[in-house]
Amino acid sequence: MDSEQLREYAHQMVDFIADYYKNIENHPVLSQVQPGYLRELLPETAPIHPEALEDVLSDVQSKIFPGVTHWQSPNFFAYYPSNSSIAGFLGEMLSAGINMVGFSWITSPAATELEMIVLDWLAKALNLPDDFLSTGLGGGVIQGTASEAVLVVLLAARDKVLRSIGKDALGKLVVYSSDQTHSALQKACQIAGIHPENCRVLKTDSCDDYALSPKALSEAITHDLSVGLVPFFLCATVGTTSSTAVDPLLALAKIAKDNGIWLHVDAAYAGSSCICPEFRHYLDGVEEADSFNMNAHKWFLTNFDCSALWVKDRSALILSLSTNPEFLKNKASERNLVVDYKDWQIPLGRRFRSLKLWMVLRLYGLENLQAYIRNHIKLAGLFEELVNQDSRFEIVAPRKFSLVCFRLLHQQDDDSANKVNHDLLDAVNATGRIYISHTVLSNKYTLRFAVGAPLTEEKHVVDAWKILQDEASTLLRSL
Ligand code: PLP
């Protein structure tokens, strides 16, 4: 590693990335390439001799960028956002520069200690109960994704119950969620060996705004108990992926507590908004949860990946996930003086991810982060208003955060209405000018417009609506 060469190359790279952001709107938001496009453009084997950085960057422009979907474009309104920011970027850069592997405290004490401190800061900003702080029996840990977060707590909950009723009861364990819960839970159940027939996916509907019904949960638990099964895990969601539904945590938590069920709250997207006092009520009831997760890499200006998970009982995680091979033994761990995050996650190795979250919190401050979230919610409100003003469209689910679920009305049968909306989505995305995604709610093909890219301003939302209206007019004329 030659420091002077690093300086020179890194400056060039920063210039390249800064220009990328400056010109980001010139690229089609959704990549328009065909599968396999890149193989035709790149050589079959790696170069024997070194090549110049300029040549590589020129290939990035001409060959890689066409195959990139530009998540940071101000015209990206699909899925949920995945924010980058200057602070997040600098934190990533520093982490890459230090490039340590912080699986145990001893391998880089600052990495573990900063992670504990920063997650305590964030827990306080979210007004989480003290039980989630590292100063008690719980604590926070950065996972790569919400999927990893739900997997590790499911394993902890599974092993906790099996320790008390015996390993042979695995086939009797039951997991509860709603039909709006993210598929990450299903994957976690597959990995954790939960019998597929014991995964209760409770139906939601538009009358409850697609939130999990406490009554349906109670009934399912009562039935399962009556046939000798063992309810042990409930995943509630604050801000579901399809429509931002919020499950009623208070009521669900009471049922979970009464039945000794581990309650995990997945607030992967909407959790960020709860740093604003006016949205914090969506988390009421989290006091009774066993674990809570939000993705700082979604809507909190922290570059991917950074999924914050808090647990009340860290020993449950550690009992499930710890190993203690000879080659990792050290005095600090042996004396139980430190946290070794390798025992809170699936992999051994881990990056210094807290640096970027620390940078985001310090360089922006909670005040600016709140303003950032509020602005997106305001822009989503504006989009919703525009939809409401056009009688050809309808809003499909109530808006709580920065996602608007809507569709084009069509007088024919359900199938043709769904097809029209499917065609509208394709037409809009084929323009390359904006990117939106879809879901299905109550059998209705629904368009999702999620505001959340850091560069999005009012003009982008207004222009996006105009594109949608124009494409809808063209489509309707062609029918
Ligand atoms: N949970 C919810 C509510 C989500 O919206 C998502 C993704 O959008 C996930 C979980 C999965 O997130 P990840 O990609 O971090 O696993």
Q: Is residue 465 part of a domain?
A: no
Cα-Cα-Cα-Cα dihedral sign, residues 45, 50, 53, 55:
negative
Q: Is the CB of 180 under 6 A from ligand 1?
A: no
Q: Is residue 117 part of a domain?
A: yes
Instruction: Quote the CA–CA distance of 252 and 238 in Å, as a whole number.
Output: 12
The pLDDT confidence band at residue 18, using thresholds 50, 70 and 90, is: very high
User: pLDDT for 369-400, tens place per residue?
Assistant: 999 999 999 999 999 999 999 999 999 999 99
Amino acid in the structure at residue 439: T
Q: How far is CA 14 from CA 17, 90, 134, 297, 450, in A?
A: 5, 10, 36, 21, 29
**Which of 26-40, 222-236, 318-332, 410-424 has the lowest average pLDDT?**
410-424
Instruction: Quote the CA–CA distance of 204 and 119 in Å, as a whole number.
Output: 33
Q: Given a cut of 80, is residue 188 above it in pLDDT?
A: yes
User: Counting Cβ atoms within 10 Å, is residue 404 exposed (0-12), middle (13-18) or buried (19+)?
Assistant: buried
Domain hosting 281: range is 101-351
CA-nearest residue for atom 14, ligand 1, is 145
The rounded Å distance from CA 183 to ligand 1 centre is: 8
Instruction: Quote the CA–CA distance of 29 and 197 in Å, as a whole number.
Output: 41
Q: Is the CB of 269 under 6 A from ligand 1?
A: yes
The rounded Å distance from CA 145 to ligand 1 centre is: 7
> Relative to the CA of 295, which ligand 1 atom is closest?
15
* CB neighbourhood size of 431 (10 A): 16
So what's the pLDDT on residue 21? 97
Query: Counting every residue, how long is the chain?
Result: 479
So what's the pLDDT on residue 479? 86
Q: Is residue 425 part of a domain?
A: no
Counting ligand 1 atoms within 8 A of each CB, the residue from 83, 240, 266 with the most, and so the one to mutate, is 266
Q: Is residue 464 part of a domain?
A: no
Q: Given a cut of 90, is residue 411 above it in pLDDT?
A: no
* CB neighbourhood size of 356 (10 A): 31
Mean pLDDT (whole number) for 218-228: 98
Q: Which of 223, 159, 169 is closest to 192 using CA atoms?
A: 159
Q: Is residue 49 part of a domain?
A: no
Mean pLDDT (whole number) for 352-359: 98
Q: Given a cut of 90, is residue 415 above it in pLDDT?
A: no
DSSP per residue, 333-398: HHTT-S--GGGGSSSS----THHHHHHHHHHHHHHHHHHHHHHHHHHHHHHHHHHHH-TTEEEEE-
Q: Is the CB of 295 under 6 A from ligand 1?
A: yes
The rounded Å distance from CA 146 to ligand 1 centre is: 5
Q: Is the CB of 145 under 6 A from ligand 1?
A: yes
So what's the pLDDT on residue 105? 97
* ipTM of the complex, rounded to two decimals: 0.98
Q: Is the CB of 266 under 6 A from ligand 1?
A: yes
User: pLDDT for 288-342, tens place per residue?
Assistant: 999 999 999 999 999 999 999 999 999 999 999 999 999 999 999 999 889 999 9
What is the rounded average pLDDT for all residues in the chain?
97
User: Counting Cβ atoms within 10 Å, is residue 158 exposed (0-12), middle (13-18) or buried (19+)?
Assistant: buried
Q: Which two tokens stand for residue 266?
A: 């997945």
Q: Which residues pair with 437 in a beta bridge?
A: 448
The rounded Å distance from CA 38 to ligand 1 centre is: 29
User: Counting Cβ atoms within 10 Å, is residue 217 exposed (0-12), middle (13-18) or buried (19+)?
Assistant: buried
Instruction: Quote the CA–CA distance of 450 and 434 in Å, as a whole number.
Output: 11
Q: Is the CB of 107 under 6 A from ligand 1?
A: no
Q: Which of 302, 309, 313 is closest to 266 using CA atoms?
A: 309
Q: Given a cut of 90, is residue 140 above it in pLDDT?
A: yes
Q: Is the CB of 304 under 6 A from ligand 1?
A: no
Top-confidence residue, 1 or 112? 112
Q: Given a cut of 80, is residue 412 above it in pLDDT?
A: no
Assign residue 128 the CATH number of its domain.
3.40.640.10
Q: Is the CB of 104 under 6 A from ligand 1?
A: no
The rounded Å distance from CA 266 to ligand 1 centre is: 8
Q: Is residue 419 part of a domain?
A: no
Q: Is the CB of 112 under 6 A from ligand 1?
A: no
The pLDDT confidence band at residue 135, using thresholds 50, 70 and 90, is: very high
The terminus-to-terminus CA distance of the chain in angstroms comes to 63
Q: Is residue 82 part of a domain?
A: no
Domain count, the chain: 1
Q: Is residue 123 part of a domain?
A: yes
Q: Is the CB of 186 under 6 A from ligand 1?
A: no
Q: Given a cut of 80, is residue 158 above it in pLDDT?
A: yes
Q: Is the CB of 73 under 6 A from ligand 1?
A: no
Amino acid in the structure at residue 355: L
The rounded Å distance from CA 149 to ligand 1 centre is: 10
Helix axes 214-226, 249-258, angle to 10 degrees: 20
The rounded Å distance from CA 182 to ligand 1 centre is: 6
User: Counting Cβ atoms within 10 Å, is residue 350 exposed (0-12), middle (13-18) or buried (19+)?
Assistant: buried
The rounded Å distance from CA 369 to ligand 1 centre is: 21
Mean pLDDT (whole number) for 9-24: 97
CA-nearest residue for atom 11, ligand 1, is 146
What phi and psi, each to the nearest 5 degrees, are found at residue 261?
-100, 135
Q: Is the CB of 307 under 6 A from ligand 1?
A: yes
Neighbour order of strands in the sheet with 173-178: 139-143, 307-311, 291-295, 262-266, 230-237, 173-178, 199-202
Q: Is the CB of 184 under 6 A from ligand 1?
A: yes
Helices (H), 26-71: 53-59
So what's the pLDDT on residue 410? 87
So what's the pLDDT on residue 371? 98
> Relative to the CA of 270, which ligand 1 atom is closest?
3
Q: Given a cut of 80, is residue 246 above it in pLDDT?
A: yes
